[in-house]
Amino acid sequence: MEPLIGTNSTYGQLPADSGVTFNDPETGNEVNMKIKLYGYGSSSMSLIQDKIYLLSGRILAPNVKSAPVLYYEQELVFPIGDAEGYPVSLSNKTTVWGFGIVVTKKEVEDSAPGQAKFKSLYVVLKHTDYDNQSRGQVAFNVSYKIPGNRNLSKTFGLFQLGHEMVLSGYINGYDRLNKVLQVHTLSVSLASGHDSSVGNESDDKSGSMPIGRKHFQIDFDSDEETESPFAGPSKPFGENCPVPVSGDEALPNCWPTVHYLALRKQVF
């Protein structure tokens, strides 16, 4: 696809078509799903057809009959090689990190080769992000399967309706009826909650540095650190917070509460 660069401009949108590959959870067959890519830069930075890249960015998957969109970061583009003859399967290798709100959850009977039957948890998270193309906020749902294995079965209790969760895993399907991406979860994190360790940190910071170890300019043991070698004044966290693109008021402390999915993708 041709770069979308305006007249008398050097930089612009760099659109491309690619695909996400996964093994169908029901049949095990390999499925290729179309995805749209958008980068930003000069025309010389455009992705080359029939090449494989490692990409990182934000994926938007509105629950409509349309291909998901990945806005990838140009600074993180990593060329892998030619798609022709590539010896490694790319199926189930599209990694995602999802930060969203729990809207539904359901335990379902499940099984795995060589294991007794168990229950897995299916959770739908609502994600919110900014769409560069429509220049507005979009919200969409993604379905996550949390397998009831030894590592993750004890996390089921963390999933409460309305709670914010951070899940990571890989795309392993697409629900055509509900137009929802499906993700196999590998790790679970609760975005907020009670921290019992607050106020219980030890004040004992004594101890000598082993002989032969290099001196740290920043060792976090003192309020008086060596001056930073980087130019520019240091300001408290949260000062001069930029106003979000949506036009709402600046968020306290500029904490990155925008919900997003990060995707690493291979381009064919």
Q: Which residue has the higher pLDDT, 246 or 65?
A: 65
pLDDT tens digits along 251-265: 444 433 333 343 444
Domain of 93: which CATH number?
2.40.50.140
Q: Which range among 194-208, 209-223, 241-255 has the greatest average pLDDT? A: 209-223
Q: Which residue has the higher pLDDT, 59 or 254?
A: 59
**Does 248 fall in a domain?**
no
Query: Which tokens go with 40?
Result: 């930003």
**Does 17 fall in a domain?**
yes
Query: For 206-209, which contacts have Cβ atoms below 8 Å and span 24 or more sequence positions?
Result: none
Return the closest-CA partner of residue 30 out of 19, 41, 43: 19
CA distance 33 to 90: 12
**Strand pairing class (69-72; 51-60):** antiparallel
Q: Across 24-135, where does the E strand assignment appear?
A: 30-41, 51-60, 69-72, 78-82, 95-110, 118-131
Q: pTM for this one?
A: 0.71
The predicted structure's pLDDT at residue 50: 92
**Does 235 fall in a domain?**
no
pLDDT at 145 over 60: yes
Q: Which residue has the higher pLDDT, 9 or 242?
A: 9
Domain limits for position 74: 12-192+256-265
Amino acid at 80: I
Mean pLDDT of 53-76: 94
Mean pLDDT of 59-74: 94
Position 193 confidence tier, pLDDT thresholds 50, 70, 90: low
pLDDT tens digits along 89-138: 999 999 999 999 999 999 998 877 767 788 999 999 999 999 988 899 99
CA distance 168 to 188: 7
Domain count, the chain: 1
Amino acid at 11: Y
pLDDT at 201 over 60: no
- CB-facing half-sphere around the CA of 69: CA atoms within 13 A: 19
CA distance 138 to 108: 30
**Does 2 fall in a domain?**
no
